[in-house]
Structure 1
Amino acid sequence: MSTPARIPPGGFKELGPVNWAIAKIGARGIRRPRFSLMNVLGQHRTLFLAWLPLSIHLLGAGKLSRRDAEFVILRVGHLRNCEYELQQHRRLARTRGLDADTQARIFAGPDADGLTDRERVLITATDEFVVTRGVSAQTWHALAAHYSTPQLIEFCLLTAQYDGLAATITTLQVPLDFPD
């Protein structure tokens, strides 16, 4: 049995016309009747509109490859035990080249068989960032061997964004969009 949402997903009245329309477009994108995260966060009308462009940019238009971004997001969701984030991004990751076996390696951690050196350091850096709120000099040096300065900055913002989002989702107890 799932825990009831602390702030239930809102409809037109709670979201207002703009956020309601955005949530409906988002729901169509995930092929669900609603996109619970948007229907919850959209109830803070102005903050939602400020948060959304950064989120969209990090997810779809950043300097990191979409595959690497999903690698980080899946690891953060796993570390934070955020089933909502994992459900959304397991599906999206498959469309970005991360099959079930690769996802299992992400969840197993940096010592999993079959990871490249870049993937190992990406998991290690994500783990350090989420757990210690920083990245060690050794891990940073290894990460910098694979990524440009803009990509390194984006790694930090992406990891922080999805760590904070996982905490928000868990705290608000956002209902799953795919309860099966």
Structure 2
Amino acid sequence: MRVPPLPADEWDDEVDAALRVMLPRRMRNPESASNALSTLVRHPALTEAFLTLNVHLLFRSSLPARLRELAILRVAHRRDCVYEWNHHREAALAEGITESEIEAVRRGEATDALDALILRAVDELDEKSNLSDATWDALCGQLDEHQRMDLIFTIGTYNTLAAAFNTFGVRSEYER
């Protein structure tokens, strides 16, 4: 672990303010916050700024939750991010995505055309930091402008988180 969670005796008002963006008061402590948040709060100003975007993507995004979770899982797989995979596997299950659908994400496979399109978008952005005209046009036929923008920012944000979690050595609470 290169960047460990912030020790409990260093949690202060600045840390509390940074986590206020995402967590209710009862969870803004080292015992209740996730390993990821407990690590990120080592830099409270960055955490607060980042969580503002992340809260939008997780809770206010126009992108349907199913598509969001499929995109995040594909990013987690491509980035070999155990933390992101484990946490969003649980979120995907809560959204009704089946175990077999989750495992198919690893292979870049989906039985639904829209799901497959989302996985293709993740792969293309990962490979080229851009989408082909064919993929963009297909997304235009399925998602409105806000949904497409939320998708691109979701993919980019979770690529950034995967890089941070992998580099810092954030351990998943769901390690198997």
With normalisation by structure 1, the TM-score equals: 0.86
Alignment of 1:49-64 (within 5 A): 49-64=48-63
**CA apart distance, 1:174:** 1.0
Pair 1:164 & 2:163 matched: no
Alignment of 1:30-179 (within 5 A): 33-109=32-108, 112=109, 115-179=111-175
Matched residues, number: 171
> Equivalents in 1 of 2:144, 2:64: separation in Å?
12
Distance 2:26 2:125 in 1: 31
The sequence identity of aligned pairs, in percent, is: 27
Q: What is the Cα deviation at residue 19 of structure 1?
A: 2.5
Q: CA RMSD in A?
A: 2.3
Give me the whole-angstrom Cα distance separating, in 2, the residues matched to 1:49 and 1:73.
21
Q: Tell me how far 1:26 sits from its aligned partner.
A: 9.4
Say which SS state the counterpart of residue 88 (structure 1) adopts.
helix
Does the CA-based 8 Å contact 2:6-2:42 persist in structure 1? yes
What is the alpha-carbon distance in structure 1 between the residues aligned to residue 55 and residue 111 of structure 2?
A: 28
Deviation at 1:20, TM superposition (A): 4.8
Distance 2:90 2:26 in 1: 14
Listed as ranges, the gaps of 5+ residues in structure 1 are none
Runs of 4 or more above 6 Å deviation: none
Instruction: Please give the alpha-carbon distance, in whole angstroms, between the structure 2 residues aligned to 1:139 and 1:13.
Output: 50
- Hey, what's the Cα distance between the residues in 2 that align with 1:105 and 1:47? 34
Do the aligned partners of residues 116 and 154 (structure 1) sit closer, same or farther apart at CA in structure 2, a change above 3 Å counting? same
Query: TM-score if structure 2 supplies the norm length?
Result: 0.88
Q: Is the 8 A contact 1:20 1:39 kept in 2?
A: no
Structure 2, unmatched stretches of 5+, are: none
